[in-house]
Structure 1
Amino acid sequence: MDINLFANLEEVAETKEKERAGDYYNEMLEKRVRPAVPEKIELQPEQKVNKMEELVIENEPIVQAADKKAPVSYSHEEILEKATEYFRGDTLAANVWMNKYALKDSDGNIYELTPDDMHRRLAAEVARIERKYPNPLSEDEIFELFRNFRFIIPQGSPMAGMGNNFQVSSLSNCFVIGGDGNYDSYGGIMKIDQEQVQLMKRRGGVGHDLSHIRPTGSPVKNSALTSTGIVPFMERYSNSTREVAQDGRRGALMLTISVKHPDAERFIDAKLEQGKVTGANVSVKIDDEFMQSVISGKPYRQQYPIHAHNPMKIQEIDAQALWNKIIHNAWQSAEPGVLFWDTVTRESVPDCYADLGFKTLSTNPCGEIPLCPYDSCRLIALNLYGYVENPFTAEARFNFDLFRKHSAYALRIMDDIIDLESEKIDAILGKVDSDPEDEEIKRIERKMWENIRTKTLQGRRTGIGITAEGDMLAALGLRYGTDEATKFSVEVHKTLAVEVYGASADLAGERGPFPIYNSEREKGNPFIQRLRQESPEVYEKMVRNGRRNIAMLTIAPTGSVSICTQTTSGIEPVFMVSYKRRRKVNPNDKNVNVTFVDEVGDSWEEYNVFHPKFIDWLQINGYDPDQVKLYEEAKLQAIIEKSPYYKATSNDIDWVSKVQMQGAIQKWVDHSISVTVNLPKEATEELVSQVYKTAWESGCKGMTIYRDGSRSGVLIGADKKEDTVEFRETKAPPRPQKLEADVVRFQNDYEKWIAVIGLLDNKPYEVFTGKADGFYLPPWVQKGWVLRNKVENEPARYDFQFLDKDGYKVTIEGLSRSFNKEFWNYAKLISGILRHGMPLPFLVNLVENLNFDNDSITTWKNGVVRALKRYIPDGTSVSSKTECPSCGEKDGLMYKEGCLTCKHCGYSKCS
């Protein structure tokens, strides 16, 4: 790199009359072209533009070559090797980074070898925006903030999408759509359904509220005569979510309803039926009046419309009875979550502008970002462990000066990402305009993105949060859950809030405030009042300059991000300090440690795996982690008891302490906090009720609980034991001549495969799959129909039918002969099992354990497994006896987004 040349070009570009040189600078930087020129250009300012033009001409061949040069892609094996080395042997982190965040195209080709490549891509994009404004940060400065995930981490969509020109996607993590207006009609309901799908296909998580839909039995002026109520539309939105894949993932959806709505109880019960509303999280918006009615025993009034002065329907209910229903369902299935809506709106800074379109309506799928209709948010996290100097020693200290500096940088980078998102939205609109569909079909999608673009630039909302709270406290010698630890955490979050709001005021002075800023509107807001009391100078600066962003702070779950940072997640404590893994060994090898021999005679070694920062503690305190991994349980526990992680895991923390900590931190977070309180299996419903009530009293904006084992998904009767198997004759439902079908595409090694899954009542009924070159479908075909044609005395023939882009039906004959005959025979066997109703987890396990000598059949089998797993509801347990291949626990494996995930150690595997 010729840094001096670029410094000169930057100097020229900063001068308004030198825009041509600045354009060239940007062009060359985007192409990563460093022209060969003298190290220093000694010219007067008025001569520099001409010199730059000469350099453009001189280096045109280089620019053209950069344009023509194809990017280099890497194999999964190459990336996994280098990324594992980058993460110091942590294969889980390497896999998560490769699969979720490395630069890839729509064909699955990956163009980055390690996170260093990714961080350079992100830094280049942010620096490009920085150069549009005064006092820009350099690419190298930004890269150092991102490098090694040590300080600042763009989360999810920004990390995957910034600088990715292969895919047309949004950088926003979350959206809310809908509104309190005229959405109580089939037209309005279908409009939201379409908008939800359009957002999910661009990688966004979506939330919307259902309180506008009229309750069950309400009169309607159509042939139906009365309304069907909330639940059928919950199922519709849930099914739409499950139909959309985002780079191999399903979409994420939050559905909310006000407790004041007469259908609230039906909403709460909707997910109790196995297999229903499996594509959505659900939460109830609870107001203070309802909570006071629960405590006092007074009746509570529900009405529709919920905000009407003269509602069309009113009913009084027993608040305690409905509360008990919420508690029972959360105890049994971990849903619904609760949102304390009066706290949300009372504390919300954007709601100071409710009459200008910023009235909070719902939240994103994890609940950490309450949003108004058509607003969106992008997430970024500061790694708190990175600011601990001399961790795990008596000299450990938190570097508040560096943290303050980086907090301001995080705000500045987030504001740059808003500009990058605006560019992405323009690209999406361009894609919509260029699509061949009829203008009427594209109208809703285009209008939605125009609305989102307007809200994005009108409020410039950001989502700055943290991760590694648990590790930060441990590194400072503080035990998570103690008063001392909570007090320190609050100080950190208070510092973050003050610095970010101050930085936004500074940025408003440089770049201008968000367009509707008005200090008079905000002066009564509780969050702004606390900020003013804590830092009068920041408040005065806001009044003087305005503020660049309407709201800025959140705490997201940071699940996969924390795997990359190799730290605890969000404000959560460490999940487990130690867990066990097993590996097969040769008993004849020297120095081998055979822990046990299984039933087929294979020898295994069992060893300990540690939380990454516990390894740091071991090394700093003179232990050899490789030796400690071999210790017996009692000896290992004796060492853990000496560490600050002792009695500080998710299972150890007293729930009252955790809820009170969340409430205390919430006072310094202008959006919300995503936290789950983990409860033991034996926890009572009364305990769940106490958790939720304490959360409301402590000032939390929302709460979710998870009781161990409450989402087992085991398909048994309520009066049967888990291990009981009842054998009875089953009768397959008759096959209609025409079945709806999903098209599933996947890659086995380097071969492209395709599956057609026939559906009956939205459940897999039959399967056809093989290599894609044997059954070509246009890449945009996602759905269709399987037709069964039977001619007397001849075997049945199965054809596939779909709609082309003009709406005409196209039929491809011979699904049954398009794939290898051997594939077809096994497909008939599996389809027969499907028709007779074997639960999908059992069928998947059965197919996975089939053994073939033929590699081609084995590959086909893997494709069938991959296709069928997509239809297993999230949270379904594999089996209470199946061990996690990573930690060895027997009750932790469950399905999530078609992948096996361990709730104990975070292990994840997709077939």
Structure 2
Amino acid sequence: MPVQEKPTAPKTYSQEEAFKASVEYFKGDDLAARVWVNKYALKDSFGNIYELTPNDMHRRIAKEIARIEQRYPNPMTEDEVFDLIRDFKYIVPQGSPMAGIGNPYQIASLSNCFVIGNEGDSDSYGGIMKIDQEQVQLMKRRGGVGHDLSHIRPKGSPVKNSALTSTGIVPFMERYSNSTREVAQDGRRGALMLSVSINHPDAEDFIDAKMEQGKVTGANVSVRIDDAFMKAVKDNGTYTQKYPIHSKDPVNVKDIEAEKLWKKIVHNAWQSAEPGILFWDTVINESVPDCYADLGYKTVSTNPCGEIPLCPYDSCRLLAINLFSYVEEPFTENASFNYDLFKKHIAAAQRIMDDIIDLELEKIDGILAKIDADPENLDIKGVERNLWLNIRKKAQEGRRTGIGITAEGDMLAGLGLKYGSKEGVDFSVDIHKQVALEAYRGSVNTAKERGAFSIFDSDREKENPFIQRLREADEKLYYDMLEYGRRNIALLTIAPTGTTSLMTQTTSGIEPVFLPVYKRRRKVNPNDKDVRVDFVDEVGDSWEEYVVFHHRFKEWMKAKGHDTTKNYTQEELDKLVKSSPYYQATSNDVDWLSKVKMQGAVQKWVDHSISVTINLPNDASEELVGQLYLEAWQAGCKGVTVYRDGSRSGVLISNEEKKEEEKEEGNAVFPTKRPQVLKADVVRFQNNKDKWIAFIGLIDDRPYEIFTGFADDEDGILIPRWVNEGLIIKNRNEDGTSRYDFQYQNKRGYKTTIEGLSHKFNPEFWNYAKLISSTLRHGMSIEKVVDLIASLQLDTESINTWKNGVARALKRYIADGTVARKEKCNNCNSTSLIYQEGCLTCKDCGSSKCG
């Protein structure tokens, strides 16, 4: 009798082996390699890694997709699927599908996002606690969750328990937020969206809830705003709030001044980037699934980043198409877009998405089997079990998919089109129109072979604006859909691509490039050789700074014959950027109004929604934020997020963290004796008709002293407009008194010195500047210095305009580049964060809450 051989154990790799191989795979991009190894390489709960490079992952995914394909006619082979997804080139499954498909070591969902809720809008404590438990159960399976709070009765309403009256919405916001913070998966914290209708009497409390420091830090919040409210804002009219919000016979009615509440929304968004806004009538009227609202598909909230509006217990899986890969001969005179290949791949992507739903149903069966096998009493695990049964029903019945894109900014640059220009917007809109047509065509063709989603009814959909748009664009597609149905209830989104775009090495989602060139820090260890120390942080760690080129900017450099290995000066880098298609097309350059209009135009061809951020400079006004919100509504956007540079400073940190950080900013940070030479920034500002200039001495990029006064006239300091930095040098006069000189380098390379800053300005300005410099040198937080300046009671108009300008100049340093310097990456503690698509992403380690 032959001896049976033991099955060979799968090969494992160390973290170092996988990282080294992946760095080679990504052609030296250690950030992309680190993200892949940490987040997506197949591993078990003991940390054993079973994949060496992303090619192993792509083969794992292709094998599983091909297995599902065999169930249906005309199946794709494993190699055909592999060629579509390999190297992150064309079709890129996102987040949960990438990590979970074919993963035997993790019992988790393949859905990226869920919405939950109670039938009958129950606001009993039992119903509220049930939502809390369901939220936790989903987050432990790697899902982001959203739910709406409009069913909870307003504060002060009578209740039949010992409290006698309701506490309202806010305490439950805090409960759900805390639950989110307690759940983590593989270092990835849960993500939560809480929403409420503007129609609810507690809407103002909801809008204010996150403004109190340390409150509701585990959730994003958005307000569902209807057209009636927006019209009342435009007409300066009143608006009626009521509870229940859709009741014809409400028990609670309150008339409010719409503009007053609107200004509060705008102010809070200006100050803290929240609340986001959901234009709810647009969401519902455009929603194809809401044609089936009476069958359980009434949209009630969105996922955490707002791009998937969902009904209770529905979920969605996400996939991105890498748009840059369809640009042939990019950055050349012959650049063109390969529409034929693009359309072919959209159809394949929609088919793959439908296969992933079958894989998700298998995953849910695995989760249910795990729940059934658990020794817990059914009373304890009943909520979790029913949750997954409800999710399974929706996935099987509606078969919702989420095809999106990434690399929009690089696609346009590769074609020589400027992001935000009329030509760029027109091209983008056409691309998204083609995505919609080919995805819907793919869903109809899949329905021919596999059958339509079970509740498809063309009569229900015939008046839907999105379906009508498809009919107008392609009548054959529309009539085929009437004949064969459609495989999926809804198909499209533009989601954040977060860490995915680090691996595609492109711009993220629909966003423009953040920066074509930027600096990154690498920690220097004591035994490291051939490194330099450019920065020492407050705890004594040393860091080396180095220039990083955006990958496709580097490709442009090569196409134009520029040396990509040269150590460029800042002036040379500026010239390079200026001559590239990325010039004035970064997230901070793009005209805000044109970006909003672009979002509205693209939204017409996306049946779900779009995750995009409007980035504003720190000194943007509240009026501008309100204008952009209003324009977004009029343009047809379903939602909008505005982020003002540095606006999250001091809002999203706890009191304990703030106390600790204020200690770090104490005397120990700065030398007790003023160094002779300080690096300095030159900041110009204008108030009313007065032009001012500030020379700000810096230590570790933080203000240490300030000299200010009039600029560009006979009473002020005359220096060229292009001078924005230099040195402040402490010297001595002949009589032994101190003076402070400013030195800069002119365009011929010679040093020019302005002697005695303290004597160049009006003595009144100088005396106040000494006061401000003293507080800065003794480590007072910049926020408190700004508050101190604002509180000064000054007599003359000119000194008051000076006061306002100084405060504005110092506020620039509350933010460290693009994000408040106090907001740090949860993963690596870096402050090199950027805000895109409603999400913070770390430039140093790639960590993002958006997958």
Using the size of structure 2 for normalisation, the TM-score is 0.77
Match in the other structure for 2:344: 405
Match in the other structure for 1:192: 131
Match in the other structure for 1:298: 237
Match in the other structure for 1:659: 596
Change (3 A) 1:551 1:631: same
Q: Which amino acid aligns with 2:484?
A: N
> Which of residues 824, 828, 843 is equivalent to 1:894?
824
User: 1:125 and 1:901 mapped to 2: Cα distance?
Assistant: 39
Counterpart check, 1:384 vs 2:384: no
Match in the other structure for 1:212: 151
Give deviations 1:21-71, integer Å, cap 9, x for gaps: xxxxxxxxxxxxxxxxxxxxxxxxxxxxxxxxxxxx99x96xx74xx3222
Match in the other structure for 1:276: 215
User: 1:469 and 1:223 mapped to 2: Cα distance?
Assistant: 56
Alignment of 1:430-449 (within 5 A): 430-449=369-388
Give deviations 1:823-872, integer Å, cap 9, x for gaps: xxxxxxxxxxxxxxxxxxxxxxxxxxxxxxxxxxxxxxxxxxxxxxxxxx
Q: Which amino acid aligns with 1:299?
A: T
Structure 2 residue matching 1:908: 3-state secondary structure: coil
Counterpart check, 1:153 vs 2:92: yes
Change (3 A) 1:266 1:96: same
Q: Which amino acid aligns with 1:217?
A: G
Is the Cα contact below 8 Å between 2:31 and 2:844 reproduced in 1?
yes
Q: Alpha-carbon deviation of 1:583?
A: 6.3
Give deviations 1:370-417, integer Å, cap 9, x for gaps: 000000000000000011100110111110000000000000000000
Q: Which runs of 4+ in 1 moved over 6 A?
A: 583-586, 592-605, 714-717, 722-728, 879-884
User: 1:164 and 1:559 mapped to 2: Cα distance?
Assistant: 22
Counterpart check, 1:249 vs 2:188: yes
Change (3 A) 1:137 1:641: same
> Which of residues 634, 637, 642 is equivalent to 2:571?
634
Count of matched residue positions in the alignment of Structure 1 and Structure 2: 691
Q: Which amino acid aligns with 1:528?
A: I
Counterpart check, 1:474 vs 2:404: no
User: 2:655 and 2:364 mapped to 1: Cα distance?
Assistant: 47
Match in the other structure for 2:620: 683
Structure 2 residue matching 1:895: 3-state secondary structure: coil
Q: Alpha-carbon deviation of 1:98?
A: 0.9
Which stretch shows the higher mean deviation, 597-606 or 262-271?
A: 597-606
Q: Alpha-carbon deviation of 1:597?
A: 8.9
> Which of residues 199, 206, 212 is equivalent to 1:260?
199
Alignment of 1:756-775 (within 5 A): none
> Which of residues 645, 669, 679 is equivalent to 1:708?
645
Give deviations 1:543-595, integer Å, cap 9, x for gaps: 01000000000000101000110000000000001112466999xx99x8979
Alignment of 1:445-460 (within 5 A): 445-460=384-399
Counterpart check, 1:546 vs 2:476: no
Q: Alpha-carbon deviation of 1:355?
A: 0.6
Q: Which amino acid aligns with 2:495?
A: A
> Which of residues 830, 833, 851 is equivalent to 1:903?
833
Alignment of 1:47-58 (within 5 A): none
Change (3 A) 1:129 1:444: same
Counterpart check, 1:228 vs 2:158: no
Match in the other structure for 1:335: 274
Alignment of 1:145-184 (within 5 A): 145-179=84-118, 181-184=120-123
Which residues of structure 1 form unaligned runs of 5+? 1-56, 729-878
Match in the other structure for 1:773: none
Structure 1 residue matching 2:46: 3-state secondary structure: coil
Match in the other structure for 1:137: 76
User: 1:726 and 1:145 mapped to 2: Cα distance?
Assistant: 52
Is the Cα contact below 8 Å between 2:58 and 2:86 reproduced in 1?
yes
Structure 2 residue matching 1:274: 3-state secondary structure: coil
User: 1:472 and 1:82 mapped to 2: Cα distance?
Assistant: 29
Q: Alpha-carbon deviation of 1:906?
A: 1.8
Match in the other structure for 1:100: 39
Structure 1 residue matching 2:548: 3-state secondary structure: strand
Q: Alpha-carbon deviation of 1:115?
A: 0.2
Is the Cα contact below 8 Å between 1:404 and 1:499 reproduced in 2?
yes
User: 1:688 and 1:883 mapped to 2: Cα distance?
Assistant: 22
Which stretch shows the higher mean deviation, 366-375 or 181-190?
A: 181-190
Match in the other structure for 2:587: 650
Using the size of structure 1 for normalisation, the TM-score is 0.72
Q: Which amino acid aligns with 2:155?
A: T
Q: Alpha-carbon deviation of 1:222?
A: 1.3
Alignment of 1:412-423 (within 5 A): 412-423=351-362
Is the Cα contact below 8 Å between 1:893 and 1:902 reproduced in 2?
no
Is the Cα contact below 8 Å between 1:902 and 1:908 reproduced in 2?
no
Change (3 A) 1:695 1:881: closer
Is the Cα contact below 8 Å between 1:594 and 1:603 reproduced in 2?
no
Structure 1 residue matching 2:223: 3-state secondary structure: strand
User: 2:37 and 2:140 mapped to 1: Cα distance?
Assistant: 21
Q: Alpha-carbon deviation of 1:895?
A: 3.1
Q: Alpha-carbon deviation of 1:899?
A: 5.2
Structure 2 residue matching 1:471: 3-state secondary structure: helix
Structure 1 residue matching 2:565: 3-state secondary structure: helix
Q: Which amino acid aligns with 1:895?
A: C
Q: Alpha-carbon deviation of 1:180?
A: 5.6
Structure 1 residue matching 2:370: 3-state secondary structure: helix
Which stretch shows the higher mean deviation, 178-187 or 472-481?
A: 178-187
Change (3 A) 1:138 1:598: closer
Match in the other structure for 1:669: 606
Q: Which amino acid aligns with 1:99?
A: N
User: 1:338 and 1:706 mapped to 2: Cα distance?
Assistant: 13
Is the Cα contact below 8 Å between 2:66 and 2:75 reproduced in 1?
yes
Match in the other structure for 2:727: none
User: 1:282 and 1:82 mapped to 2: Cα distance?
Assistant: 41
Change (3 A) 1:626 1:585: farther
Q: Alpha-carbon deviation of 1:640?
A: 1.3
Is the Cα contact below 8 Å between 1:901 and 1:909 reproduced in 2?
no
User: 2:541 and 2:299 mapped to 1: Cα distance?
Assistant: 59
Match in the other structure for 1:576: 515
Is the Cα contact below 8 Å between 1:505 and 1:548 reproduced in 2?
yes
User: 1:328 and 1:544 mapped to 2: Cα distance?
Assistant: 51
Give RMSD over aligned pairs.
Answer: 3.0
Give deviations 1:71-126, integer Å, cap 9, x for gaps: 22211111111111111111110111111111111222221110000000000010
User: 2:385 and 2:15 mapped to 1: Cα distance?
Assistant: 37
> Which of residues 505, 524, 528 is equivalent to 1:566?
505
Q: Alpha-carbon deviation of 1:891?
A: 3.8
User: 2:418 and 2:134 mapped to 1: Cα distance?
Assistant: 46
Change (3 A) 1:367 1:899: farther
Counterpart check, 1:239 vs 2:178: yes
Change (3 A) 1:509 1:725: closer
Q: Alpha-carbon deviation of 1:598?
A: 7.3
User: 2:846 and 2:84 mapped to 1: Cα distance?
Assistant: 31
User: 2:129 and 2:535 mapped to 1: Cα distance?
Assistant: 58
Change (3 A) 1:141 1:227: same
> Which of residues 333, 340, 358 is equivalent to 2:297?
358
User: 2:542 and 2:441 mapped to 1: Cα distance?
Assistant: 61
User: 2:846 and 2:641 mapped to 1: Cα distance?
Assistant: 26
Change (3 A) 1:476 1:316: same
Change (3 A) 1:235 1:606: closer
User: 1:597 and 1:488 mapped to 2: Cα distance?
Assistant: 44
User: 2:89 and 2:497 mapped to 1: Cα distance?
Assistant: 14
Which stretch shows the higher mean deviation, 573-582 or 366-375?
A: 573-582
Change (3 A) 1:644 1:184: same
User: 1:890 and 1:370 mapped to 2: Cα distance?
Assistant: 30
Which residues of structure 2 form unaligned runs of 5+? 668-811, 835-841
Match in the other structure for 1:536: 475
Is the Cα contact below 8 Å between 1:672 and 1:701 reproduced in 2?
yes
Q: Which amino acid aligns with 2:93?
A: P
Match in the other structure for 1:772: none
